[in-house]
């Protein structure tokens, strides 16, 4: 630790520790009154909500008692009963959805919704039939899918229960009353039944569809307990909550508030204490910096000079005094000048040597890469060409040895063996011609004889070449080229080579029963030639490599399909010489499509 830091640290210790102690004690003494205020506010919100519920429910119960005791409910005139009950529906708009009367067998004898049926097994009927008012659990209305409850009360005449009055009550009016009670910005009120199902919350869509029995306050209140607690609610939010059991309705009332908002007074007090402490500490630090700077500035100048010397950007240190530190500064400046001069000479020599080494290293890397490429091409060439030459030579040798060893050979057999020899000689000739063509293409010496060329005509020539092979492999080859298609400016013989190579490639990779289609179409000033097959297809990552020489989809050591991988490379070179490029689209298992574009003649 530097001298300056030690001085600042000393000043901080003698000031911050006592100040922190005072702040801490003040904060602790203020916590209890704030906590009491939070609890009182939560209890007040819970009591206000509970009172609002009781008042609203009392009003509903009074309405039902008044109606059930009215002589009009015993009136057989339904029109008069409709008018009487309609006054209640109009007075409390939206509260009462339906009034209906049941006889002692549970049959609906009257309904403001003209509804009929038997409700003899419903709890609200069986309980009211015992002679007392009954309030049902909150449920979702079958017609509106919104929360409601049913209040029932016996209809008595001369002390005898003659029927049951029932009212289907919407909860929406009560919900709006609860929502109007101020419980703070982050406060939430919800009501649950004794199973933990929400029967009131701000989000109506979750009512009676969401169960929060794992909520701490809900667990407590469903055991008919009242209290206040801090916990983490179902949404992962830390809250303080007041909970209260409403036994008359079998409801649990919970008022939750975000703990940060509830104890905002703590935070405000803490911020004030921190602000005061910050001002005090800032003053102490400012004073310590001024004093320490006057004491340590000369030493800091020497430290900066030493760092500058190491980094190579040294500047002479100004001498601010003539004491011991001032004399030391003079000596340091002289020594630094000498060292810098020596360093510059060494750096110049090292830089020259490094440049030479870097240049040599780059040349070696380039040469090494070229050697690797040449070695790979040589290996590929030797492996593939030896394989392609060995196979026909073996067939020629076997046929020739057979003819030599047999004195009298059947004419048909002799003809067949001679055809084998001729075919394999042709195969070797094609391979050599392919290699020569590829050499010309790579050397840029490919010569084109450009003339008016009919795509229809050259497609027939190419088709004759591969027709028998396609027939032998049971592959259907079709040509879809309009007779009136414009001629192109191209080298006829070279285009035949391209089509032959594309046909041979398609035949190699198309299984028996497949199809190959050669097509051409007019496209502005060009003709687009396409060949599509139903072969095995090509993987996406290999599409960029198929036009490389000697490349095949199978590896050279285990490929199942013959050829040395020159056909597509030669075809690509010929089309490029015509100023175009072969495009390929393919998907494994779904075949491939090769296409290229040629300029129209004229």
Reported confidence tier of residue 560, pLDDT bands at 50, 70, 90 = very low
- Percent of the chain with pLDDT strictly greater than 70: 77
* Closest by Cα among 78, 113, 120, 106 to 163: 106
Domains 70-173 and 184-262 are alike in CATH topology: yes
Using the predicted structure, report yes or no on whether residue 561 has a pLDDT greater than 90: no
Residue keyed to tokens 């030669």: 570
Distances (CA, A) of 205 to 130, 147, 213: 36, 10, 18
The mean pLDDT value for 396-404 works out to 72
Orientation of helix 411-443 relative to helix 567-577, angle to 10°? 50
Q: What does the pLDDT read at residue 557?
A: 37
Using the predicted structure, report yes or no on whether residue 150 has a pLDDT greater than 90: yes
DSSP 370-434: HHHHHHHHHHHHHHHHHHHHHHHHHHHHHHHHHHHH-SS--HHHHHHHHHHHHHHHHHHHHHHHH
Q: What does the pLDDT read at residue 314?
A: 62
* Closest by Cα among 169, 224, 216 to 194: 224
Q: What does the pLDDT read at residue 294?
A: 65
Using the predicted structure, report yes or no on whether residue 563 has a pLDDT greater than 60: no
Using the predicted structure, report yes or no on whether residue 415 has a pLDDT greater than 50: yes
Contacts of residue 108, defined as CB under 8 A and 6 or more positions apart, other chains included, come to 100, 101, 102, 115, 116, 117, 118, 119
CATH number, domain 184-262, options 2.60.40.180, 3.20.20.70, 3.30.450.20, 3.40.50.720: 3.30.450.20
Residue keyed to tokens 């879809």: 480
Q: Helices marked H in 70-134 — which ranges?
A: 78-91, 123-128
Q: What does the pLDDT read at residue 418?
A: 80
Would you say domain 446-599 falls under CATH 3.40.50.300?
A: no
Q: Is 426 left (phi over 0), alpha (psi -120 to 50) or beta?
A: alpha
- 210-213 LR contacts (CB < 8 Å, sep 24+): none
Most confident of 28-32, 148-152, 442-446: 148-152
Q: Which residue has the higher pLDDT, 464 or 386?
A: 464
Using the predicted structure, report yes or no on whether residue 574 has a pLDDT greater than 90: no
- Percent of the chain with pLDDT strictly greater than 90: 26
Using the predicted structure, report yes or no on whether residue 475 has a pLDDT greater than 50: yes
Using the predicted structure, report yes or no on whether residue 559 has a pLDDT greater than 50: no
**From 136-145, 250-259, 294-303, the region with the lowest mean pLDDT:** 294-303
Most confident of 175-184, 246-255, 384-393: 246-255
Q: Which residue has the higher pLDDT, 542 or 510?
A: 510
Q: Thinking of the domain 70-173, which architecture would CATH place it in?
A: 2-Layer Sandwich (3.30)
Using the predicted structure, report yes or no on whether residue 218 has a pLDDT greater than 60: yes
Domain residue ranges in the chain: 70-173, 184-262, 446-599
Tokens of 244: 């209260």
Q: What does the pLDDT read at residue 351?
A: 85
Q: Which residue has the higher pLDDT, 413 or 216?
A: 216
Using the predicted structure, report yes or no on whether residue 8 has a pLDDT greater than 70: no
Tokens of 297: 């500035």
Reported confidence tier of residue 264, pLDDT bands at 50, 70, 90 = confident
Query: Beta strand pairing status for 227-232 and 592-599?
Result: unpaired
pLDDT digits (tens, 9 = 90+) for 23-40: 666 656 666 777 777 888
Q: What does the pLDDT read at residue 295?
A: 61
Report the distance separating Cα 354 and Cα 133, nearest Å.
103
pLDDT digits (tens, 9 = 90+) for 159-204: 888 899 999 999 999 999 988 887 777 688 999 999 999 999 888 8
Reported confidence tier of residue 379, pLDDT bands at 50, 70, 90 = low
Q: What does the pLDDT read at residue 341?
A: 74
The mean pLDDT value for 329-355 works out to 77
pLDDT digits (tens, 9 = 90+) for 113-128: 989 999 999 999 999 9
Strands in 103-172 per DSSP E: 108-111, 134-135, 139-140, 147-157, 160-170
**From 216-220, 263-267, 388-392, the region with the lowest mean pLDDT:** 388-392
* Closest by Cα among 135, 145, 127, 128 to 53: 135
DSSP 273-341: HHHHHHHHHHHHHHHHHHHHHHHHHHHHHHHHHHHHHHHT---PPP---SSHHHHHHHHHHHHHHHHHH
């Amino acid at each position: 630790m530097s001298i300056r830091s030690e001085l600042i640290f000393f000043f901080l210790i003698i000031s911050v520790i006592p100040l922190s102690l005072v702040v801490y004690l003040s904060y602790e003494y203020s916590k209890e009154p704030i906590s009491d205020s939070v609890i009182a506010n939560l209890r007040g919100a819970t009591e206000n909500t509970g009172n609002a519920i009781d008042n609203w429910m009392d009003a509903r119960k009074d309405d039902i008692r008044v109606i059930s005791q009215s002589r009009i409910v015993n009136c057989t005139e339904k029109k008069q009963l409709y008018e009487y009950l309609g006054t209640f529906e109009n007075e409390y708009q939206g509260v009462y959805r339906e009034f209906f009367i049941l006889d002692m067998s549970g049959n609906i004898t009257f309904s403001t919704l003209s509804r009929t049926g038997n409700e003899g097994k419903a709890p609200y009927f069986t309980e009211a039939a015992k002679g007392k008012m009954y309030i049902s659990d909150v449920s979702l209305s079958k017609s509106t899918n919104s929360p409601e409850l049913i209040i029932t009360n016996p209809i008595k005449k001369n002390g005898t229960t003659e029927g049951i009055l029932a009212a289907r009550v919407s909860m929406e009016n009560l919900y709006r009353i609860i929502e109007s009670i101020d419980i703070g910005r982050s406060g939430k009120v919800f009501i649950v039944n004794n199973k933990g199902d929400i029967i009131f919350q701000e989000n109506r869509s979750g009512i009676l569809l969401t169960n929060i029995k794992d909520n701490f306050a809900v667990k407590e209140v469903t055991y008919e307990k009242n209290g206040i607690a801090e916990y983490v609610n179902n949404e992962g939010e830390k809250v303080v909550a007041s909970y209260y059991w409403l036994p008359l309705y079998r409801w649990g009332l919970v008022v939750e508030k975000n703990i940060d908002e509830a104890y905002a007074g703590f935070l405000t007090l803490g911020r004030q204490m921190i602000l005061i402490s910050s001002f005090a500490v800032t003053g102490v630090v400012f004073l310590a910096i001024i004093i320490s700077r006057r004491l340590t500035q000369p030493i800091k100048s020497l430290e900066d000079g030493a760092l500058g010397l190491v980094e190579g950007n040294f500047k002479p240190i100004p001498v601010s005094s003539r004491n011991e530190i001032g004399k030391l500064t003079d000596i340091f400046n002289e020594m630094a000048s000498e060292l810098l001069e020596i360093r510059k000479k060494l750096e110049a020599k090292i830089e020259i040597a490094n440049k030479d080494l870097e240049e040599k290293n780059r040349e070696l890397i380039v040469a090494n890469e070229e050697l690797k490429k040449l070695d790979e091409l040589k290996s590929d060439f030797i492996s593939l060409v030896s394989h392609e030459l060995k196979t026909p030579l073996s067939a020629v040798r076997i046929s020739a040895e057979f003819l030599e060893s047999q004195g009298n050979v059947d004419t048909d057999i002799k003809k067949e063996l001679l055809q084998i020899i001729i075919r394999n000689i042709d195969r070797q000739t094609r391979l050599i011609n392919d290699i020569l063509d590829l050499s010309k293409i790579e050397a840029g010496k490919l010569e084109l004889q450009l003339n008016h060329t009919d795509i229809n005509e050259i497609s027939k020539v190419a088709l004759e070449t591969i027709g028998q092979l396609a027939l032998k492999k049971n592959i259907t080859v079709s040509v879809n080229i309009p007779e009136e298609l414009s001629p192109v400016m191209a080298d006829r013989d070279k285009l035949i080579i391209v089509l032959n190579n594309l046909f041979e490639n398609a035949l190699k990779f198309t299984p028996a029963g497949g199809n190959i289609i050669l097509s051409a179409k007019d496209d502005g000033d060009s003709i687009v030639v396409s060949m599509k097959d139903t072969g095995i297809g090509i993987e996406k990552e290999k599409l960029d490599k198929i036009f490389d020489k000697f490349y095949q989809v199978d590896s050279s050591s285990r490929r199942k399909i013959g050829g040395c991988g020159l056909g597509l490379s030669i075809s690509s070179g010929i089309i490029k010489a015509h100023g175009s490029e072969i495009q390929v689209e393919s998907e494994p298992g779904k075949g491939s499509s090769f296409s290229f574009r040629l300029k129209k003649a004229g």
